[in-house]
Amino acid sequence: MQKKRKKASSGLYDREGIWHIDKRVGGVRICESTGTGEKEEAERYLARRLEEIRKASVYGVRPSRTFRQAATHYLNENLHKKSIDCDAQDLAALDPYIGNLELSRVHDGTLSSFKNARRMEGVKSSTVNRSLAVVRIILNLCAKQWRDEYGLTWLETVPMITMVDWKDKREPYPISWDEQTRLFSRLPEHLREACLYKVNTGCRQQEVLKLQWDWEFEIPELKTSVFILPAHVTKNGKERVVALNSTAMAMVNRQRGKHDIFVFTYRGKPMARLNNSGFRAVRKKVGLECVRIHDLRHTTGRRLRAAGVSNETRKDILGHEGGNITTHYSMAEISELIEAVEKIAVESSESMPSLTLIRIGGSRVSRKTPAREIKKA
């Protein structure tokens, strides 16, 4: 049986021990929790909200809003964003420092305790700056885009938010072939194969973890296949081709039949991350604690450069902004990419066939067919 609301003064009611507001004032309905079980405190809260509405309607004074309210609004509006989980983590770290502050009080001064605390914890400048960048985005939205029922922006002006520079930027560490052998030989099989694929293709971590069989396309003329990564997976939001050398192709073939959707899995489920406790433990055992997962991508770039691969082709392989490969390819372009990545394979192959114009086509891969075919135009 549903509990009856316990009414108090006009507009307040008790729901499960907490006083809530449900009141219409000047055409505006206030429907929210006061956050307190004390009646007198709830009445003061209601009086304050009524005064805010009066000032907003008569004098154009903005109602008081906290950074936490703005952060919640931002997260709810951006659930589609690829990096929303990272944004949520950043905002969770910021909340103890500025969550309760009014928007107008969020600035360099009030953020200094957050910066100092993170530095004491050994957090890198780049990580702290990512959190500060989310604050900047939210405050800009408050001042320029979000408006209340009176047409007022949530914030009058955007404060200056200064990034930190603690001179702690870590330089990339491309690994040598010897270091690769030392590290990879001790990794668990599922990690070793995913890392071998990564270092031979230059893919980002998420491009490896989310790789799906549905994105594989056969190229009969080259007797191989490529993966076409959809826009929602890539960092720059554009489709791109992943060329496979003989080592990467071998790693892909070893995964066939393990999962219907994802290529790289562990115990029947998609892998959550490559930089896990297993990777870190092995890294420490072999004396390569300085190596990060992203260094495998740097390794790909360095090896391609050392092999004499042109800057333009390296961009296409690594999916850098400014690369030229899109969803339409010539056989010559595909051949060039495969030839380039083959130069950095543990075992190199031969054959680089003819010049034919091709584009993505064909139907979805059946369970028996290893890949969709890229057909001639």
Closest CA to 193 of 254, 147, 145, 135: 254
Reading the block at residue 240, the tokens are 């791109």
The residue-averaged pLDDT of 213-235 equals 92
Check pLDDT > 80 for residue 193: yes
Measured CA to CA in angstroms, residue 73 lies from 7, 67, 99 at distances of 30, 10, 13
- Distance, in Å, from the CA atom of 292 to the CA atom of 43, rounded to the nearest integer, reads 55
Least confident stretch, 108-117, 221-230, 235-244, 364-373: 364-373
What pLDDT, on the 0 to 100 scale, is given for residue 34? 84
Across 363-377, average pLDDT: 44
The rounded distance, in Å, linking the Cα atoms of 25 and 63 is 14
Determine the Cα–Cα distance for residues 95 and 331; give it in Å rounded to an integer. Answer: 53
Instruction: Give per-residue pLDDT as tens, 165-189.
Output: 998 888 899 999 999 999 999 999 9
362 — pLDDT class (breaks 50, 70, 90): very low
Question: pLDDT confidence of 349, banded at 50, 70, 90?
Answer: very low
Give the least confident one: 28-37, 163-172, 291-300. 28-37
Cα three-residue angle 54-65-31, rounded to 5 degrees: 65
User: Which residue has tokens 């135009």?
Assistant: 377
Q: Are 208 and 194 in contact (CB under 8 A)?
A: yes
Res 355: pLDDT:
28
What are the backbone dihedrals phi and psi of residue 175, each rounded to the nearest 5 degrees, phi first?
Answer: -90, 150
Q: What is the DSSP letter of 212?
A: B
CATH topology of domain 177-376: hpI Integrase; Chain A (1.10.443)
Instruction: Report percent pLDDT > 70 for the chain.
Output: 84
CA–CA gap between residue 223 and residue 338 (Å, rounded):
11
> Which residues are paired to 308 by β-bridges?
none
CB-count burial class (<10 Å; 0-12, 13-18, 19+) for 375:
middle
Domain segments of the chain as ranges: 6-59, 67-144, 177-376
Mean pLDDT of 80-85: 87
Question: What are the DSSP calls for 111-160, one per residue?
Answer: HHHHHHHHHHTT--HHHHHHHHHHHHHHHHHHHHT-B-TTS-BS-SSPPP
User: What is the average pLDDT value for the chain, to the nearest integer?
Assistant: 85
User: Predicted confidence band at 346 (pLDDT cuts at 50, 70, 90)?
Assistant: low
